[in-house]
Amino acid sequence: MSQGNDDKMKRIVEARMRLRARFKKQIEESPSVSDEAPLGTGQKNRHQMPKLPVGQHETKNWPVLDLGLHPTVTREQWSLRIDGAVQNPQVLNWQDFMALDQAEDVSDFHCVTTWSRMDLSWRGVLVSTILALADPLEEAQHLMCYGYDGYTTNVSMPEALKKDVLLVYEVDGKPLTREHGGPVRMITPQLYAWKGAKWINRIELMTTERKGFWEERGYSSTAYPWKNDRYS
């Protein structure tokens, strides 16, 4: 990596740290982090009983749930726009995305339709890195995430900035398949999985909350699995 790229990555990391610091208290007080039993986050969760949030059952397969559309988007065609309440709107192509800090994480996947998959290995880019690039305004409090299929979902800034929230392109060592949101989808391990948009192509920063597709249809805006927080 060149000195110029090193300097750029350093600036992004510093911006990411500043952004997280701004929401540090809210992140620490969120249910997935603050609950002692169960914690519902990271490895600690797997050493507690119950292993699963209330109402969930473990599955080894990976059901496909979406709006009925599976857009065909190649890596060469894919792009991501970050705009709204930001200082520096961005449009990233695949090369831009892959030039960012890459992250690997193991986390669980809880679908509101009552199934969970455990210990999925992901590779991608932290959403906090993506947001740091665009430099959100002080007033920015929420994200609206958009998919190529027209799907939308809202996520609060404290949740989006958590260290296990990624834009992923690989799962268990293989490219993310089209039916599961490839080439890139968002994952939100500490929230129900509908908060992670498949085929993601835009992140809009918002100063006030708006509802996405399922939130408009009565689903919870907060969506904490360990609180059985399915509906508003």
pLDDT band for 91, please (50, 70, 90 cuts): very high
The whole-number average pLDDT for the span 29-58 is 63
Interval 20-41 mean pLDDT: 73
Q: Give the angle subtended at the CA of 33 by the CAs of 207 and 132, to the nearest 5°.
A: 40
Those residues whose C-beta lies under 8 Å from the C-beta of residue 131, and which sit 6 or more positions away, are 16, 19, 82, 143, 160, 161, 203, 205
Question: pLDDT at residue 50 above 80?
Answer: no
Please state the domain extents for the chain.
3-227
* Chain segment 112-137, per-residue pLDDT in tens: 999 999 989 999 999 999 999 999 99
Can you point out the beta strands (E) in the chain?
57-58, 79-84, 90-93, 103-110, 115-126, 142-147, 152-156, 166-171, 174-175, 185-187, 200-206
Question: Across-strand partners of 126?
Answer: 166
Inter-residue contact 145 to 131 (CB < 8 Å): no
% the chain with pLDDT above 90: 80
The larger pLDDT score, comparing residue 201 to residue 3, is at 201
Q: Give the N- to C-terminal CA distance of the chain in Å, as an integer.
A: 48
Confidence band for 51, pLDDT divided at 50, 70 and 90:
confident
CATH number for the domain running over 3-227 = 3.90.420.10
**For residue 5, what are the CA distances in angstroms to 10, 87, 88, 100, 103?**
9, 21, 19, 10, 17
pTM, full prediction? 0.92
Measuring CA to CA, how many Å separate 206 from each of 56, 128, 145? Answer: 32, 15, 11
With cut-offs at 50, 70 and 90, classify the pLDDT of residue 1.
low
The average pLDDT across 189-197 equals 96
